Amino acid sequence: MLKVKTVSLFFLLSLLCKPFVNAQVVCCSPANEQFVANADDKNFRNEHDLAAFDQNKKLKGKMIRIATPDSDSASAYFLEPKKPGNKWLFVFHEWWGLNDHIKSEADMLFDDLKDVNVICLDLYDGNVAQNREQASDFMKSADEYRIRQIIRAAIDLAGYEAKISTIGWCFGGTWSMQASIMTGRQGKACVIYYGMPELVRASLIPLKADVMGIFAEKDQWINTEIVTQFSDLMDVLQKNLDLVVFPADHAFANPSGSNYEQSMAKEARAISTEFLKAKFEE
């Protein structure tokens, strides 16, 4: 594993008359569009294997419905600590949808973080893929406006004083970044696992959360050029970025995938968890 650098954060944008509050960005993100375009790439589809889940393992959370601003509602998997608090972690699923594997990931994060509300957002409104073809179709047909309505609903549920962090893998890594931009001043930390980072300068302006980008140097899609461009842009904007690049391939943290790297996945989990813990305490 190669830790590339840590970029110091200065509030360059303090010249603005007031901070962004629950900032929204434009409805169409080039980052999302670029990542979704990979669904038509046969090689990209074949890089992904449906994560296995131990059916004997009991999940700890519950499914809930949250009201969305478009007068609809959305589903989410929710874990709430016994002691109420204002710390929230938004978890974003891979292109498969909100399946039991992602719910179990949320369970582990909940156990590790102790006193944090953990909510997995269902960006596919109930659709869960059983094979690569379905996953490709669901990702391509997911409406970005609707996804932002779901994220907005989660921000509203957390409340105005909530400290919000985000984490996601692959397609969900892309949305972890976008959600942290949307949280504005409430954002504490953002973890991106090999998702498409935001590369539009203006779109990054509302971002207040510190970012940990976990990437793979053999990744053909979220490649070295993209990661370098993202790092350089964060540097120019003087945003906080911890960039960690593993000598692995895309989806190396998927435990049942052909690209799975157990030791690297374990290390990535450890450093991302410690990152989230530290940022929640600041």
Q: Is the pLDDT of residue 239 over 90?
A: yes
Q: State both tokens at 125.
A: 């409104």
Q: What DSSP letter does each residue of 88-150 carry, written as one string? A: EEEEE--TT-S-HHHHHHHHHHHHHHSS-EEEEE-TTTT---SSHHHHHHHHHH--HHHHHHH
Q: Among all chains, which residue has been given the structure tokens 């962004």?
A: 20
126: in domain: no
Q: Is the pLDDT of residue 135 over 60?
A: yes
Looking up residue 23, the CATH number of its domain turns out to be 3.40.50.1820
Mean pLDDT of the 17-36 span: 61
Amino acid code (one letter) for 90: F
Strands 117-121 and 87-92: parallel
pLDDT band at 220, cuts 50/70/90?
A: very high
* Mean pLDDT lowest among 105-114, 140-149, 252-261: 252-261
Q: State both tokens at 98.
A: 């909100």
205: in domain: yes
Cα–Cα nearest to 119, from 147, 82, 92: 92
pLDDT band at 28, cuts 50/70/90?
A: low
123: in domain: no
* Mean pLDDT lowest among 32-36, 136-140, 152-156: 32-36
Within 10 angstroms of residue 136's Cβ, the number of other Cβ atoms is 21
Residues 21 and 184: beta-carbon distance below 8 Å = yes
41: in domain: yes
209: in domain: yes
Report the alpha-carbon distance of residue 21 to residue 15 in Å, rounded: 16
Domain count, the chain: 1
Report the alpha-carbon distance of residue 44 to residue 41 in Å, rounded: 5
Owning domain of residue 218 = 2-51+138-281
Q: Is the pLDDT of residue 260 over 80?
A: yes
Cα–Cα nearest to 36, from 108, 119, 139: 139
DSSP assigned state of 22: S
Q: Is the pLDDT of residue 17 over 50?
A: no
pLDDT band at 116, cuts 50/70/90?
A: very high
The 10s digit of each residue's pLDDT in 37-80 is: 988 888 888 778 776 666 667 999 999 999 999 888 999 999 99
Report the alpha-carbon distance of residue 11 to residue 62 in Å, rounded: 39
127: in domain: no
Residues 75 and 64: beta-carbon distance below 8 Å = yes
108: in domain: no
Report the alpha-carbon distance of residue 255 to residue 195 in Å, rounded: 17
The fraction of the chain above a pLDDT of 70, given in percent, is: 88
pLDDT for residue 18: 33
Q: Is the pLDDT of residue 124 over 90?
A: yes
148: in domain: yes
Residues 13 and 20: beta-carbon distance below 8 Å = no
Main-chain phi, psi angles of 54, to 5 degrees: -75, 110
Q: Among all chains, which residue has been given the structure tokens 């940990």?
A: 212
The 10s digit of each residue's pLDDT in 69-114 is: 988 899 999 999 999 899 999 999 999 999 999 999 999 999 999 9
Task: Say what the pTM is.
Answer: 0.89
Interacting residues of 92 by C-beta distance below 8 A, sequence separation 6+? 120, 121, 123, 166, 167, 168, 169, 171, 172, 173, 175, 176, 179
pLDDT for residue 52: 66
pLDDT for residue 84: 87
Q: Is the pLDDT of residue 25 over 60?
A: no
